[in-house]
Amino acid sequence: MKISRFHFKINALFAAIVVELVAALLLVNGIAALLSARYNLQIDLTAGAVYEIGGDTKALLQALDTPVEIFVLSDEGGFTGSKYLDQAKRVLDRYPRFSGQISLEYVDYLSNPTFAVHYPELQLSHGDIIVQSGGKVRHVLAANLFRYARGRDGGITIASSRAEEAVTSAIMNVIGGEAVRIAALTGNGAADSSLLAALLADNNYEVHTVGIATARLEDYDAALLFLPTMDLSGDVVRKLEEFLYNGGEYGKTLFYTAGVAQGAMPNLDMFLSEWGVRFSDGAVFETQPERTYQFQPYYPVALFGANRYGDMLRDSSMPFLMPLSRPMEVLFTSKDGYYVETLLHFSETSGVRPAGAGSDFTADKAEIRGPMPALVLSSFNIPTAGGGLLQSHIVISSSNGIFDAVAMQNPSAANAEYLFNLLGDLVDRDYIINIQPKSLAGGTLGVTSAQASRLGVILVGILPLVILLMGVAVTLLRRYR
């Protein structure tokens, strides 16, 4: 009987503990449910925090002082079936958590035809996003939430998500003032500028492709002239001069890139010399492997100068690639109101291969050696009566390859972020934000030639040798212990 009573007490105590644990779990779950409705209790442990919005977006949201409505043209269950769709939905759900001014609503517009009536000028499709504030509306297509790549089989696949980039850009558009207008100039053999144009368009710039001979440049805030291979006419040069003069108001920016494919262009060269820059023929090479990209001497890495644009980078250790650069010379640093600043430069171990050099050319035969400018900012300044400055700028690059995919879409290179910050500063953007696409695939290892060499030595030589020595040591220890 005593044993039976003892067992009964133990069972009763155990049952009471179980009941209390269940009650505690229910209480904790209830509290967690209430908190999760108001606060973000999830932790994103993925590389690059792909399911979280970035610090720039959070800062923008926390500074909002006007209501912004976000409508997603789908029910909440419509963003399923793909890891990228799930990532886009999770990112969207973050926006109202960081600002009371943001409202997010999923709308099944097919079953709610009155919704589409409010947007008769828009061609709405499933998964599109509408962002509006104060009567301004931005329509984000579902396809523009992602970036795509062509696979080896020729098919198109999603390469990365740009959901945060697209939505944050739309918010900036509807709360901001007049958009910055940029002319991408064509003609005279100018190179394609679509990669930079896409980056700018994704970040709330208006980019228009126009012919250099026929465009009304006064309608634009900045112009892009990439690697023309035919000389500009005198009329076109005067048009560029009038664009930068802007009726005495200045405030314009021209972005010009050169390259090894160019020939003699006397009119363009004369125009650039007035702004303090001169080009010569040949190609810049680098002799130190740690200053090249993937062992290619004609893909040198430029060094950041002592200016604020390098300090604006989130990681100043990332390389800036300058593929196939043409040698450039700064003629003066200041003269008659013109001021020339070297933003990026090649190292003292760089050199120039002459255009007519034969196959027997070696680095020690180079007549022009570094350091030499790689990216230059030339400004014309006019003081105002109030103590301010009226300015127009030309950004001059020795390489058009800075806008190639290997540089602009390389997450290990600083090109996209640096150039975006530079242009945003020159056109007086009040708020500069650059959001990188997020990939859910395995990360790529972006390294310089020197880093690749060191990794090869470690993985192929040192690590196997260490493992071999450890095995010998263990064998000897067991034998003679």
Query: Are 336 and 420 part of one and the same domain?
Result: yes
Q: Is residue 328 part of a domain?
A: yes
**Of the ranges 137-151, 197-211, 420-434, which one carries the lowest mean pLDDT score?**
420-434
Residue-wise pLDDT tens digits, 178-191: 778 999 999 999 99
Query: Are 193 and 261 part of one and the same domain?
Result: yes
Q: Please provide the average confidence, as pLDDT, over all residues in the chain.
A: 83
Question: Rounded CA gap, 414 and 402, in Å?
Answer: 10
Cβ proximity of 373 and 330 under 8 Å:
yes
Q: Is residue 437 part of a domain?
A: no
Q: What CATH number corresponds to the domain at position 107?
A: 3.40.30.10
**Of the ranges 41-45, 80-84, 87-91, 335-339, which one carries the lowest mean pLDDT score?**
41-45
Spatial neighbors of 94 by CB under 8 A, at least 6 apart, are 40, 52, 53
Residue-wise pLDDT tens digits, 458-476: 777 787 777 877 877 777 7
Q: For residue 54, how many other CB atoms are within 10 A of its CB?
A: 20
Spatial neighbors of 411 by CB under 8 A, at least 6 apart, are 436, 439, 444, 446
Question: Rounded CA gap, 12 and 315, in Å?
Answer: 62
Host domain of residue 15: 1-39
**pLDDT tier for residue 368 given thresholds of 50, 70 and 90:** very high
Backbone torsions φ then ψ of 291, nearest 5 degrees = -115, 25
Question: Rounded CA gap, 463 and 339, in Å?
Answer: 53
End-to-end CA distance of the chain: 61
Q: Is residue 445 part of a domain?
A: no
Question: Rounded CA gap, 425 and 61, in Å?
Answer: 21
Residue-wise pLDDT tens digits, 261-316: 898 899 999 999 999 999 999 999 999 988 998 889 999 999 998 778 888 887 88
Question: Rounded CA gap, 188 and 212, in Å?
Answer: 8
Question: Rounded CA gap, 460 and 266, in Å?
Answer: 53
Q: Is residue 174 part of a domain?
A: no
Q: Is residue 414 pLDDT above 50, yes or no?
A: yes
Number of domains in the chain: 4
Which of 129, 150, 171 is the last residue before a domain boundary?
Answer: 150
**Of the ranges 9-18, 265-274, 436-445, which one carries the lowest mean pLDDT score?**
436-445
Report the pLDDT value the prediction gives residue 447, as an integer from 0 to 100: 53
Alpha carbon of 321 to those of 76, 250, 288, 416, 428: distances in Å? 42, 31, 14, 10, 26
Tokens of 379: 């400004």
Q: Over pLDDT 90: what percentage of the chain?
A: 38
| Beta-bridge partners for 296 | 293
Strand 180-186, strand 205-211: pairing? parallel
Spatial neighbors of 184 by CB under 8 A, at least 6 apart, are 193, 197, 207, 208, 209, 210, 223, 224
Cβ proximity of 434 and 203 under 8 Å:
yes
Query: Are 29 and 76 part of one and the same domain?
Result: no
Question: Rounded CA gap, 270 and 265, in Å?
Answer: 9
Q: Is residue 219 pLDDT above 60, yes or no?
A: yes
Query: Are 138 and 113 part of one and the same domain?
Result: yes
Q: What CATH number corresponds to the domain at position 262?
A: 3.40.50.880
Q: Is residue 460 part of a domain?
A: yes
Query: Are 23 and 76 part of one and the same domain?
Result: no
Query: Are 270 and 418 part of one and the same domain?
Result: yes
Q: Is residue 25 part of a domain?
A: yes
Which of 112, 133, 150 is the last residue before a domain boundary?
Answer: 150
Report the pLDDT value the prediction gives residue 460, as an integer from 0 to 100: 73
Q: Is residue 171 part of a domain?
A: no
Query: Are 370 and 470 part of one and the same domain?
Result: no
Residue-wise pLDDT tens digits, 316-337: 888 999 999 999 999 999 999 9
Query: Are 17 and 66 part of one and the same domain?
Result: no
Query: Are 63 and 33 part of one and the same domain?
Result: no
Q: For residue 417, how many other CB atoms are within 10 A of its CB?
A: 19
Cβ proximity of 377 and 362 under 8 Å:
no
Mean pLDDT over residues 398-409, rounded? 89
Q: Is residue 136 pLDDT above 90, yes or no?
A: no
Q: Is residue 448 pLDDT above 60, yes or no?
A: no
**Of the ranges 12-26, 146-160, 209-223, 295-309, which one carries the lowest mean pLDDT score?**
12-26
Alpha carbon of 402 to those of 70, 168, 254: distances in Å? 36, 26, 16
Query: Are 212 and 303 part of one and the same domain?
Result: yes
Tokens of 117: 């009536």
Question: Rounded CA gap, 350 and 352, in Å?
Answer: 7
Report the pLDDT value the prediction gives residue 15, as an integer from 0 to 100: 63
**pTM (predicted TM-score):** 0.70
Query: Are 381 and 240 part of one and the same domain?
Result: yes
Q: Is residue 438 part of a domain?
A: no
Q: Looking at beta carbons, which pairs linking 295-300 to residues 24 or more positions away fall under 8 Å?
A: 295/449, 295/452, 296/323, 296/449, 298/323, 298/324, 298/325, 298/353, 299/323, 299/324, 299/401, 300/325, 300/346, 300/347, 300/350
Question: Rounded CA gap, 268 and 186, in Å?
Answer: 15
Query: Are 20 and 70 part of one and the same domain?
Result: no
Question: Rounded CA gap, 73 and 128, in Å?
Answer: 5
The residue among 123 and 279 whose pLDDT is bigger is: 279
Q: Is residue 44 pLDDT above 60, yes or no?
A: no
Angle, helices 415-426 vs 194-202, to 10°: value is: 70
Q: What angle do CA 288, 293, 298 make, to 5 degrees?
A: 70
